[in-house]
Structures are given as structure tokens and as C-alpha cells.
Amino acid sequence: MTNNSVWVIGHRHPDTDSICAAIAYAYLKNQIDPTHTYEPKRAGSINPETAYVLGYFHVDEPELVTDVGTQIMDIAFRETAGISGNISMKNAWELMQKMDVVTLPVVNKKNKLEGLIVAGDIAKSYMDVYDTTVLSKAKTQYKNICETLNGEVIAGNAHGYFVKGKTVVASGSIKRITGILNPEDLVIVSDREDVIPVCMQSNVSCIILTNNPNVKMEIIEEANKREIVIIRTPFDTFTVARLINQSMPIKHFMTTDHIVHFHMDDYLDEVREVVSKIRHRDFPVLDENENYIGMFSRRNLLGAQKKKIILVDHNERSQAVHNIEETEILEIIDHHRIGSLETMAPVYFRNQPLGCTATIIYQMYQEKGVEVTPVIAGLLCSAILSDTLMFRSPTCTILDKEIALKLAEIAEIDVEEHATKMFEAGSNFASKTNEEILNQDYKTFYSGKLAFGVAQVSSMSRTELDKVKERLYPELVTEMGEKHLDMIFIMLTDILSESTELVCAGDGAELLAESAFSEHVVGHGLMLKNVVSRKKQVIPALMNALAEQ
């Protein structure tokens, strides 16, 4: 998600209105606001009815988003390139100074994280002055030594490695020097020409000549014959001895074990908890394929950008995608009662007493002068037909029906035929799990400290609804526990007869339903004639009954 991205998203158990409204409103916003990119998202699984609609109009499902909490991708981390483990400590230090950082990521040729080198590791390299073999232990490349000493290789293979022997400063008598030299040693020589033949006879691996001396051609030829590297440097012996450890490759000192790293989709709440227990200042970021991307520091966590969100078809926190409180809500477009959602700043809130959010969005297309394409018209019309049960619901207004018929003309669909096929697709319960059926159109409500859920399952066949009741009722106690509910109700709505059986579960649920509708519960449910709307008929009745208790 980029800084100019805005997600348009419906409620947690999306129905056709929630999905189609998100797609249509994102399209509208993209036409009228070129400064942002509006993306439709979904907060839950697509139900079969909605899948039929999207398939009919050849529209892709919006991407699933189950949590909108702030993530690593929302912070301004440093997208710095990883470095090779073969570069010298000196080069690493210069990079740190140039980039004003204290940590560098080390990666291999495939961009996989191999280690971290920190300023403290470089300081540690200066402490190994008593170990004369540290350069060979680190398998230092002669090219690195040459670069560190601002020198030039005048004999031998610059790309070879110093892998065996010690580092020696050739001082004192020839006898003393001869006595301390071993094959494969690296020797630092000042302006004493008499020492060079002794070094060659000892078959050292490398000779470093300080103060930029002139070297006879026969010495260079002899060195090449013996495969001895000769490096000439302008620095004096003291400076060479002081700098040479900086030529070691960083891989010898870098941290490789138990590297704390994070991924782009990690949530900052969890990241902060981990970071608070670790003294490191910087941490690497990897993508989903474990490739290195960049680094972030503790201070980057303070500048996290909240996700920008537009909510459609709901305005209650219990129905919103997880961690909605961590986002910046820009707009709310809805047709339900005003719920419990709070915002940190004023927002554009459009709430109209209509049968469907899609009806409101069509009005906004007209107000903004944006053409409704046949595909958008088909989606909006389908949403209205779904939410109003093809104009049967008491929530359906004259405006809903008028707009749906206009949209049907633009989309070139027959309202009754299209609605029937939609409802038939949504009534195919055989291939769905109990959880999928229950959650395909489910919402949670609160009255004081009491929490209850209401799911609606609609079908054109009472026989199918009876089968659903038989399957779902034994699962309801478990569902209440998982959803932390006191009661749960299922509306089994027969579209053709415009009636609903309200199935009840939970302590006091049946008494509450009887009080709300003045009907008797039979077989864990009560039959409600001319009741098809959760929003307008069931929820208000339950809330009123709870208020009177």
C-alpha cells in the first residue's frame, strides 16, 4: 500500500451489496480524484450469490484483507541495497559514514540475507592487534589489501587470497628477519632492498612495499615466477601496520546467527514488542520470498503511516475489518443505523434510509456527473436486488426500485431472471461447510454488556432452509463460544413466501425472541410471516425487547 492508496472496503462477512459497493465506489473515486489510487477490498469470503454476480459481469474478486493494522510496509524504512560479505572493513565503514547508519546488511548473489555488520564489529577488528594471523584467518583478498592501502599490485594475482601464515613487519637484521619468516607469510617491508630477496627465498605469499619505492624488473619477474604478490603503497610502515586490518572482509566479523528480521506484512504491534526486548538499532526487512528489501530503525516506527480507508455498507466497529481503529477513516457510505464506530477526525459520512448502499452510490455517480458503465450498472443493480430481496423487503424504497430498473436497462439484464439466478446460486448449500453458511451474511450487535449475533440465510426453497436448520443448530453453542456471544439467532428467510423462521440459541434467547415478536418458539425457532429484513424488522424488535427487560 503506497502513501496515496485508499482502500474501499465493506464489512467482515460481505454480502453482494458490500462487495459491489466497494468496487463501484472505488471506480467512482478514481474518476474524480487523480491524487489518490482507490482500491476495492473485501474483509471476508465471497458468498456464492456474490460469486455468481462477479462471474456474470466478468469482474475479479477484490483482494482479501482481514486486518488493516499498521504494518512494516506502512513505515518509511530505508530501501538500501545489501552488500557483499567480501568487501573490506574499510569500505564498510566508509559506507556507514556516507549513509549515516551504524548497520549494514550482508547478502549473497541471490539477495538472501547472510548477516549484519555493525559499527561495533569494525571497532572490534582493531582489537585483534595481537593476533598476527587474523588476516589469513579472515581469508583476506589481496585486492582488498591493495585498496585499503591506496596501493597497486605490481606482481602476482591481485584476486588471490591470503589464507595461511602471519603478518610480519620486516625490521632488524637480515638474520633476525630470516629467522621469523615462514612460507605463506605476508611481509611489510620499508625501503630496504636487501630484505626483498630474503622474503622471496622464504616463499612468502605477499610483500607490501611502503613509501612507493621503485622496484627492479627482475624482482617483479622473480615474484611472478614464484607467484608472490607484491603491493606497492605510498603509506609509511606505521600507517600500513595500522590500516591493514581494515582490509579484512566483513564476513569474518559479521553476525550470522539468530538475526532478528521482519517481513513487509508484519504488524507494528508485534514488531514493537520484539524490538523492545533487543538492543539493536536497525533491523532488516524481507519479502514473502525471504529476499532482502531494506532496513528500519527504532525511530522509523514512530513515523508509521496509517492506512487510509473508506467504509461502505457498515459503520459499526464489530462489523469492520480487524484493527479498524488503527486506520485513518476518510469516508463512510452506509444505509444502516448509526453504530459504535468512532473516528479520530471529522469524516465524510453519508447515511441514507434506503434499502441498499448501491442506491446511494448511484446517486453519487449522478451528482458527480460520472457515467455509469454497463458493468458498474450490473453490479449496483445486483446489490439492490440482493439487499431488497427483489423489492420484497420492507427496507426497499421507491427510489431503490426506480434506480434498480434504470441500472438494469444500462446493464441490459432482465431484473426477475437475473435475481432468480442470483438467489438460486446463493441457495446452493450442499457444497458449503456449516461455518461458511453461518458466516455468509452474519453481523454482531450489542446492547449494554450483552452481545448477540444475527445471521441470515435466504433461499427460494423452504425444504433447503429446513436442511440448513438441521445442520446449523447443533453448532450454535460452539459458535457462541468462538465469537464470544451471549445469544445467537439465525434468520432462515424464504424469499418466495416472504417469511422467516428465527432460530434461537443461548440463555434467554428464546424468551427474548418471544417477547420481541409475540410468537411462541417451536423446535428452537419461531415462524415470522412478512418478516425478511434483519435491519428493519428483526434488530429493532430485539433491541426494544432488551430495553424493556
Q: Are residues 505 and 530 in the same domain?
A: yes
User: Torsion angle of alpha carbons 11, 12, 15, 16, nearest 10°?
Assistant: 60
In a domain? residue 192 = yes
Mean pLDDT in residue range 275-296? 89
Residue 349 is given by DSSP the state E
Confidence of residue 65 (pLDDT cuts 50, 70, 90): very high
Element (H, E) at 116: strand 113-118
Tens digits of residue pLDDT in 389-401:
999 999 999 999 9
Distance between CA 189 and CA 223 in Å, rounded?
15
Q: Are residues 264 and 179 in the same domain?
A: no
Distance between CA 244 and CA 240 in Å, rounded?
6
Distance between CA 414 and CA 93 in Å, rounded?
72
Does pLDDT of 529 surpass 70? yes
Q: Are residues 311 and 299 in the same domain?
A: no
The confidence score (pLDDT) of residue 409 equals 97
Does pLDDT of 353 surpass 70? yes
- What's the whole-number average pLDDT of the chain? 91
Does pLDDT of 82 surpass 60? yes
Q: Are residues 389 and 357 in the same domain?
A: yes
Question: Residue 86 sits in which domain range?
Answer: 73-124+252-303
Q: Are residues 311 and 413 in the same domain?
A: yes
Whether the CB-CB separation of 343 and 324 falls below 8 Å is answered with no
Domain boundary among 426, 454, 489: 426
Please report, for the domain that includes residue 287, its CATH number: 3.10.580.10
Q: Are residues 535 and 440 in the same domain?
A: yes
Q: Are residues 312 and 411 in the same domain?
A: yes
Distance between CA 18 and CA 533 in Å, rounded?
16
Q: Are residues 483 and 504 in the same domain?
A: yes
The confidence score (pLDDT) of residue 128 equals 58
In a domain? residue 509 = yes
Does pLDDT of 125 surpass 80? no
The confidence score (pLDDT) of residue 302 equals 77
Element (H, E) at 455: strand 450-459
In a domain? residue 209 = yes
- The vertex-107 CA angle with 104 and 109, nearest 5°, equals 145
Q: Are residues 200 and 90 in the same domain?
A: no
In a domain? residue 28 = yes
Contacts of 481 (CB under 8 A, 6+ apart): none
Q: Are residues 25 and 109 in the same domain?
A: no
Mean pLDDT in residue range 109-128? 84
The confidence score (pLDDT) of residue 52 equals 95
State the cell numbers at 233.
603503497
- The vertex-145 CA angle with 191 and 181, nearest 5°, equals 55
Domain boundary among 426, 455, 480: 426
Find, among 99, 68, 70, 65, the residue nearest to 82 by Cα: 99
Distant-in-sequence contacts of 216-224, Cβ < 8 A, 24+ apart: 219/155, 220/154, 220/155, 223/155, 223/156, 224/155, 224/156
Distance between CA 372 and CA 153 in Å, rounded?
73
In a domain? residue 213 = yes
Return the residue matching grid coordinates 622471496.
200
Does pLDDT of 2 surpass 70? no
Q: Are residues 22 and 117 in the same domain?
A: no
Query: Structurally, how many domains does the chain consist of?
Result: 4
In a domain? residue 134 = no
In a domain? residue 396 = yes
Mean pLDDT in residue range 9-17? 94
β-sheet with 499-505: strand ranges across: 442-447, 450-459, 487-494, 499-505, 525-529
Mean pLDDT in residue range 216-233? 93
How far does Cα 543 stand from its chain's mean position? 39
Beta-strand relationship, 308-312 and 442-447: unpaired
Please report, for the domain that includes residue 443, its CATH number: 3.10.310.20
Please report, for the domain that includes residue 209, its CATH number: 3.40.1390.20
Residue 60 is given by DSSP the state P
Q: Are residues 439 and 408 in the same domain?
A: no
In a domain? residue 24 = yes
Please report, for the domain that includes residue 420, its CATH number: 3.90.1640.10
Distance between CA 75 and CA 306 in Å, rounded?
9
